[in-house]
Amino acid sequence: MSKLGCSSPSIITIITIITIITIITIITIITIITIITIIIITSFIIVTIIIIAKTVIFVIITITAGYNCIIIIIVILTICIINLG
């Protein structure tokens, strides 16, 4: 009986240590997964913002270039009409 009494605390200690290690491992894995998820979401948001910014800049440049082309064409036509007249 006394041997069983002496060995019981060590079994409880081993189970406690295994439980603590398991909990720490699970918390670590959850933390790592959370960090990776945050990094992925953040990079996705950054890439989306960059794509939107590029698109907006491209549209602005295209519109500006379009107006510039129209103005240049009007100026050229005006010069041609003046020269013809």
How is the chain split into domains, by residue range?
Answer: 1-85
40-69 pLDDT, tens digit per residue, is: 999 999 999 999 988 888 888 887 777 777
Three-state DSSP at 1 gives coil
Split at pLDDT 50, 70, 90, the class of 1 is: very low
Estimate to the nearest angstrom the gap between the alpha carbon of 30 and the chain centroid: 19
Q: What's the whole-number mean pLDDT along residues 58-84?
A: 81
What's the Cα-to-Cα distance from 77 to each of 63, 70, 74, 82, 84, rounded to whole Å?
A: 21, 10, 5, 8, 10
What is the per-residue pLDDT for 43? Answer: 93
